[in-house]
Amino acid sequence: MNTSWENRQWWVWGLCCLLLVGGYTVGVTWPQRFASLLSPGLDQLRKLAVQTGIFHSVLRTIAVIFVHNLFAAIVVMVVSGIVTAGIYPAWAMWMNGLTMGYVVATESHQLGVPAWRIFVYGMLPHGLFELPAFLWCGVLGIHLGYVAVKSLWYTLKTGVFHVEPRHQTSADAFLREFRRTLKLLPYPIGLLLVAATIEGSITPHLIVSHIPQLHG
């Protein structure tokens, strides 16, 4: 049915992974260069941490984390992809990796803890589910942006310029792909729920056990 996209999606997945890993590598290698760029986003994360810390309720903590990540995945990755032709999800993927690398590097330096311990005990447990969910939503957002531009161009050629396109690309392609995306979204949302559950219940105990300096 959608052979061209099935063939194309793998390089989009590869691009998103490359942006995420590349951002992480740059952030963990040269953290001092990105402090001002990442400051607003890190302030939001600190506020989220304070908000969840005052609840003293695992369920409420999980709920806040889940809602925050759900907004980031659906709005930032998917919806923004439509209005920015897929550019913003790619940028957000890079920024996510950059933020992760920056946090690992700065916490490791400030606490005198090996960077791998920050990553393994503070990020990896919930990241095993959270990162695939963000990658998935990023791929969907980039694809929807591509289809939106393609459908708009088709409409302009046929409706405004009255040019018969070489390929029979329906202007309804965007709606078809949007419906397809809605059918797929429950899967990354499920991953985000699992990730939030782990981040709100298991990750704090791992931090206390293996990185007590960070908890303090």
- Entry pTM: 0.87
Give the Cα-Cα-Cα angle 152, 158, 164 (nearest 5 degrees). Answer: 125
**Tens-place pLDDT, residues 56-97:** 788 989 999 999 999 999 988 999 999 999 999 999 999 999
Q: In whole angstroms, give the CA distance from residue 85 to residue 105.
A: 33
Residue 161: give the domain boundaries.
3-215
Closest CA to 70 of 10, 14, 130: 130
Query: C-alpha distances in angstroms, 135 versus 13, 16, 108?
Result: 7, 6, 26
Does residue 163 have a pLDDT over 70? no
pLDDT tens column, 3-28: 555 566 788 999 999 999 999 999 99
Based on the number of CB atoms within 10 Å of its own CB, is 158 exposed (0-12), middle (13-18) or buried (19 or more)? middle
Using pLDDT thresholds of 50, 70 and 90, give the confidence band for residue 151. confident
Residue 173 confidence (pLDDT): 81
In 3D, which of 213, 85, 61 has the Cα closest to residue 149?
85
Total structural domains within the chain = 1
